[in-house]
Structure 1
Amino acid sequence: MGGVTMRVRRVRAGLRGWGGVGAMAGLCALALALVLLLPWTGSGPAAGAGAGRGGRGVASGTPAADATCTDPEKQTLAPSSADGTTIAAIKARQGEKRKLIVGVDQNSYRWGYRDPNNSVAELEGFDIDLVHRIAQDILGDPKAVQFKAIPTNQRVPAIQEGRVDMVVRTMTISCARLGDVAFSAPYFKTGQQVLAPKSSSVDGYDATLAKKKICAAAGSTAYTRLADDQKAGKLAAGATIATVPNQLDCLVRLQLGEADAVVTDGALAASQAAQDPTVELKGAPFTTEYYGVAMKSDASDLVRRVNQILVAYSANGWQASYDKWLSATLGGDAATSRPPAPPQYLRTS
């Protein structure tokens, strides 16, 4: 028990300098208390078995990518404002239940999080702004939303099991995921990067990761890339991979000294570096990825409607949301984060 107490003290000491986001320390301390009870999976691809597409385990497998899939961010349907059976069912909900049910994060600073300085502690952030715009278009009320906080490894199961109408949660469009869910056109561009302590010898996604313990969220594209590279002999020699259910847990592991580096989307890593001044991004992004709104594979009318909304949102709303939430962590120039323009819609049915 004494060892746990000492680790908590070290983390608290590291959190004292959080500056403008000091209020987030309470959230991370809570996350710490919870994460100490979470399983820490073993290393290597085998550690990912057991929670792939529908399970609730900690780790996930690496789905086999569709060899015929190229440019996954283009594999979506053309925009349409027409209502279909999915949208009709959403609109048919009565009373307090007449809401869009959306899976989001509540722990990703600037994306989807609860600000304890806000008296009502409502969810806010870049992803949350987009959800409100979608609700406004479909139900005529931006607040007609039932938010469901879901961990990284439950995004696909939540959609498939009908627990949510959609997921708006920094979710990368990938060929593997296209076999499980449908995606909108991209609404954000990012790439995988390494996050590590400033004092670390790690320089990026390279040989400096040798013999390091790397943390990634189960079910994430970061884990898929790490596992694939390890299997192919492309990961730094002796590096091990461990997973947690939620991406924020990796930051806590890093603070505890139980991980040497984190691999995640650069957009998320930048927000975490803003929360903890003892860590920083290491090296340039080594992938190009796009976030999309995820929905059921057969919800074609909803996919088309969201794409229609994104066309308007890209022209009026996207930049204001970026300036408000992300410019402080990603810089004032949003050009590198902008999704492709114009988007392409290669899916036909």
Structure 2
Amino acid sequence: MAVGCALAVLFVLLLPLVRSHGESGGPGTGHGLAHGSATRAAEECAAPEKQTLAPSGADGPTIDEIRGREGEKRKLIVGVDQNSYRWGYRDPNSGGDAELEGFDIDLAHRIAEDILGDADAVQFKAIPTNQREPAIQDGRVDMVVRTMTINCARLEKVAFSAPYFRTGQQLLAPKTSPITGYDDTLAGRSICTAAGSTALSTLEQDRKDGRLAADADLGTTVPNQLDCLVRLQLGEVDAVVTDGALAASQAAQDPTVQLKGDPFTTEYYGVAMKKDADDLVRRVNRILEQWRADRSDGWRNSYDTWLSPTMGDDPARSEPPAPEYLRRS
């Protein structure tokens, strides 16, 4: 336990819908128009992972701006995590400067290589979970590559690429815990989630709808997901809910905890960008197609390198479906 705690704390120390809705009205009434718009929006967001633009290699204003940066500033600015083991993290045992590495980091380098001709032309910015959308909207980063789930609420604020990874919400708890999964054993238990995460919004909705015990305590939220593991190790919470891919990495950091039960949602990670950065979205989608098809140094190689030790040798459950590009503008 001490080893797991020390590792998790070390990683921490390394850290430098609104919807329109209206009653049906008569033809031409404002209520009728609002209801129609809401209906169309709901239909369009039935499969948020498909609401992206078709791939293209054409340049545009966003890519031109990135390429127009001069000197040391001529880099792709990417928001990432630096404490998600095997995804985006600094390995204290790697020696030297403990550079960022992981599955998401590989993808960021691949995008930089395509756009700027240099895989190392990346400026990484560590972004807390609850700051991912604001960092894009405020222009602090060109994109976020940070285990970010594509969902309807986020599509109101940012644009997404096609999915590059499939996962689902899952429970993490001590091996000795009587918690067995996402079920009645969570009654009266305290659950930690990251602020602004899909885990938190899912649990809040499920508790409201009666799928989660009404007395489950969701009061513990943290800026970064790894902080939940520390809270669990300290006995301050009974369980953690996060993406199964991240939970598997956390379980690998501490052998006294384990995944409990099966994933209870299906979610997809995407690269997030500004809503009006159409040229960049299309370019990233083309890069993702090439990355998935590359059998020597692509998606599968990154999975084998970073994720197979925590998620197993078979990547089939994590491979995203064939992309669909339903967004027209």
Q: TM-score, normalised by structure 1?
A: 0.83
1: CA distance between counterparts of 2:210 and 2:299?
40
CA displacement 1:80-120 (0-9 Å, x = unmatched):
00000000000000000000000000000000000111222
The equivalent of 1:214 in structure 2 is: 191
Residue 302 of structure 1 deviates from its aligned partner by 0.2
CA displacement 1:40-80 (0-9 Å, x = unmatched):
xxxxxxxxxxxxxxxxxxxxxxxx99633111000000000
The equivalent of 1:77 in structure 2 is: 53
1: CA distance between counterparts of 2:233 and 2:225?
14
Aligned length: 300
1: CA distance between counterparts of 2:165 and 2:2?
29
Given the alignment, which residue of 296, 308, 326 partners 1:346?
A: 326
Given the alignment, which residue of 53, 67, 75 partners 2:42?
A: 67
The percentage of counterpart residues that share the same residue type is 73
Residue 229 of structure 1 deviates from its aligned partner by 1.0
Relative to structure 1, the CA distance from residue 32 to residue 95 in structure 2 (aligned partners, 3 Å threshold; closer, same or farther) is: closer
Residue 15 of structure 1 deviates from its aligned partner by 2.9
Which region of structure 1 is more displaced relative to structure 2, 225-234 or 163-172? Answer: 225-234
2:275 is equivalent to residue 294 of structure 1: no
CA displacement 1:10-66 (0-9 Å, x = unmatched):
xxxx232x5xxxxx93552463899xxxxxxxxxxxxxxxxxxxxxxxxxxxxx996
2:89 alignment partner AA: Y
2:4 is equivalent to residue 28 of structure 1: no
2: CA distance between counterparts of 1:31 and 1:185?
31
The equivalent of 1:330 in structure 2 is: 311
The equivalent of 2:31 in structure 1 is: none
1:71 alignment partner AA: A
The equivalent of 1:175 in structure 2 is: 152
CA displacement 1:276-329 (0-9 Å, x = unmatched):
000000000000000000000000000000000000000110000000000010
Q: TM-score, normalised by structure 2?
A: 0.88
1:305 alignment partner AA: R
The equivalent of 1:133 in structure 2 is: 110
**Structure 1 segment 1-349 matched on structure 2, within 5 A:** 14-16=1-3, 18=4, 25-26=6-7, 28-29=9-10, 31=12, 67-68=42-43, 69-118=45-94, 119-241=96-218, 242-316=220-294, 317-341=298-322, 343-349=323-329
Contact map agreement 1:207 1:237 (CA 8 A) in 2:
no
2:308 alignment partner AA: S
Contact map agreement 2:208 2:214 (CA 8 A) in 1:
no
Query: Cα RMSD between the aligned structures?
Result: 1.8
Which region of structure 1 is more displaced relative to structure 2, 240-249 or 286-295? Answer: 240-249
Contact map agreement 2:77 2:125 (CA 8 A) in 1:
yes
Residue 246 of structure 1 deviates from its aligned partner by 0.9
- Deviation >2 Å, runs of 4+: 24-27, 29-34, 64-68
1:87 alignment partner AA: I
Contact map agreement 1:32 1:252 (CA 8 A) in 2:
no
Contact map agreement 2:8 2:230 (CA 8 A) in 1:
no
The equivalent of 1:6 in structure 2 is: none
CA displacement 1:322-342 (0-9 Å, x = unmatched):
00000010000000000112x
Q: Which runs of 5+ in 2 are unaligned?
A: 16-37
Relative to structure 1, the CA distance from residue 28 to residue 331 in structure 2 (aligned partners, 3 Å threshold; closer, same or farther) is: same
1: CA distance between counterparts of 2:169 and 2:7?
27
